[in-house]
Amino acid sequence: MKVLVATDKPFAKVAVDGIREVIEGAGFELALLEKYGDKANLLAAVADTDAIIIRSDVIDAEVLDAAKQLKIVVRAGAGYDNVDLAAATVHGVCVMNTPGQNSNAVAELALGMMVYAVRNLYNGTSGGELKGKKLGIHAYGNVGRNVARIAKGFGMDIYAYDAYCPDETMTADDVTPVASAKELYEQCQIVSLHIPATPETKESINYALLKDMPKGAVLVNTARKEVINEAELIQLMEERTDFKYMTDIMPAANSKFLELFPERYFSTPKKMGAQTAEANINAGIAAAHQIVGFLKEGCERFRVNV
Ligand code: 3PG
């Protein structure tokens, strides 16, 4: 059996070594396709593979058509919006993610971006502090919970909104649950986004939601660019010169954020919330174990397609 690690944005070497140990230890072959750039390279590499480990790499019907022997795809990470789940089901391919494995890395970056924002992008002027500020966590999953844990150390006053998470889970963490996204954005000067990209959440972070954030607002997006209505956020930032947007996800190529708001907007050059050796090791090795469990014992824990 052949397992392919197909990562256009490669894992740290130490994570690849760990994945190799698990896969080869189980008697399987490991192939590596990194920084492949052109989709044609991915299509060629999947032709004779039984299992694939990916990150944000797109697995669509064309890739599935080309992967005649494929049985399982594991997204080493949380969000699986890059995989066509329905097409995978039609092709008889199991899709899994590795929830929670990279969430501390994303949460640490989110807090780092908050500090960067309130310190005026380290431009030397007098900034503010996180202590005592109201933080709104939009979606209280694995990343949201880690953000709350770290924010507590900064002395922030923490609120969260998540339609799918019981209030008790939040209150047990000393986090105040609020009843709607609207309420969260109205109350909190700093909001950290952790919603998945789905048809329902697409462009849901819009002018109407953001306009009532308190003065000195900071929006931190380490989730997905698709959830932001970029045109409306630009409109809002043009109207509100106190509003800052920090993200680790490059906005659309034609967006004007950097040109228009060089002192209130920041993005990393690549999506990099989970780009740490630790997160790569956790998620990559979990993915390798899940593949071995599936191929050897039919274990379908963490399956996300039906
Ligand atoms: C995730 O969904 O797990 C994170 O967004 C990390 O994605 P990445 O593996 O592409 O860095």
pLDDT digits (tens, 9 = 90+) for 6-31: 999 999 999 999 999 999 999 999 99
* CATH H-level superfamily of 103-267: NAD(P)-binding Rossmann-like Domain (3.40.50.720)
Candidate from 19, 195, 271 with most ligand 1 atoms within 8 A of CB, to mutate: 271
Whether the predicted model's global pTM rises above the 0.75 cut: yes
Is ligand 1 within 6 A of the CB of residue 75?
A: no
The pLDDT value given to residue 199: 96
State yes or no: pLDDT of 265 exceeds 90.
yes
Share of residues in the chain with pLDDT > 70 (%): 100
The minimum-distance atom of ligand 1 relative to the CA of 79 is 2
The minimum-distance atom of ligand 1 relative to the CA of 101 is 3
How many angstroms is it from 280 CA to the middle of ligand 1?
10
Q: Answer yes or no: same fold for 2-101+276-297 and 103-267.
A: yes
State yes or no: pLDDT of 251 exceeds 90.
no
Is ligand 1 within 6 A of the CB of residue 4?
A: no
**What is the C-alpha separation between 270 and 35, in angstroms, rounded?**
13
List the chain domain ranges: 2-101+276-297, 103-267
The pLDDT value given to residue 270: 86
State whether CATH 3.20.20.150 applies to domain 2-101+276-297. Answer: no
List, as one string, the DSSP characters of the chain. Answer: -EEEEEESSPPPHHHHHHHHHHHHHTT-EEEEEES--SHHHHHHHGGG-SEEEESS--B-HHHHHH-TT--EEEESSS--TTB-HHHHHHTT-EEEE-TTTTHHHHHHHHHHHHHHHHTGGG-SS----STT-EEEEES-SHHHHHHHHHHHHTT-EEEEE-TTS-HHHHHHTT-EE-S-HHHHHHH-SEEEE-----TTTTT-B-HHHHTTSPTT-EEEE-S-GGGB-HHHHHHHHHH-TT-EEEESS---TT--HHHH-TTTEEE-SS--TT-SHHHHHHHHHHHHHHHHHHHHH---TTB---
Structure confidence by residue, pLDDT tens digits, 54-99: 999 999 999 999 999 999 999 999 999 999 999 999 999 999 999 9
Mean residue pLDDT of the chain comes to 97
Confidence of residue 3 (pLDDT cuts 50, 70, 90): very high
Q: Which two tokens stand for residue 131?
A: 């202590």
